[in-house]
Structures are given as C-alpha cells and as structure tokens.
Amino acid sequence: MDASNIKTDASRQRRVPGDETVNWSDPSLSTRAVREYLEALDEEALAETLPKRLSLTDPQSCWTAAPGGPALFAYSTNYLIDNEHGVIVDV
C-alpha cells in the first residue's frame, strides 16, 4: 500500500470550522466545485463525520497536516501495488 497527498487548488484563507453552518445558496460561494459537491452530497454520511476544516473553494478536499510542512487542503490517494509485477492493482 502506498499513500500520497495531492495538494488542491483551495485557498487556506477561505475555510471555516467543519461544524459551522454555511449558507451555500450565497452567490459568492457558487463555484462549480461547490455546486458539484452539493449535487453529490449524501447528508446522512456527512452527519456521521464532520471535517475539522471545510474549504469554501473546494469542499471535497480534506484539511491535512502532512509531515514537514504547513497544513493544507489536499486529496488523499491510496494505491495497492503488486510489487512482484510492478502493477497498480487498485486506487
């Protein structure tokens, strides 16, 4: 297994605590990423796990503090690799 973080193009300044209510109908928050996130949102799953920080720029990204650097918004990837054959089996 290999795990990597891919930095997102999400502003560190445009964030709120994960449990804060956000008015997503506000036109200033109506970016394409936000609209797609809201269309795919499963409210029951969201209620189970609230993020520590929520990006107003890219709500699907996660707040992470990778070793050796400042905290940032990123996507986390995990690869299952067949080392014998040098093939990525699953992502």
pLDDT tens digits along 42-76: 665 655 667 778 888 788 888 888 667 788 888 87
Q: What is the pLDDT of residue 78?
A: 77
The residues facing 90 across adjacent strands are 80
Q: Is the pLDDT of residue 1 over 60?
A: no
Query: For position 42, what pLDDT does the model report?
Result: 61
The vertex-87 CA angle with 91 and 68, nearest 5°, equals 55
Where are the domains positioned within the chain? 2-90
According to DSSP, residue 51 is labeled -
Does pTM surpass 0.85?
A: no
Give the pLDDT of residue 68: 73
> What 3-state class would DSSP assign to 88?
strand
What's the confidence (pLDDT) of residue 14?
A: 75
Contact 12, 65 (CB under 8 A): no
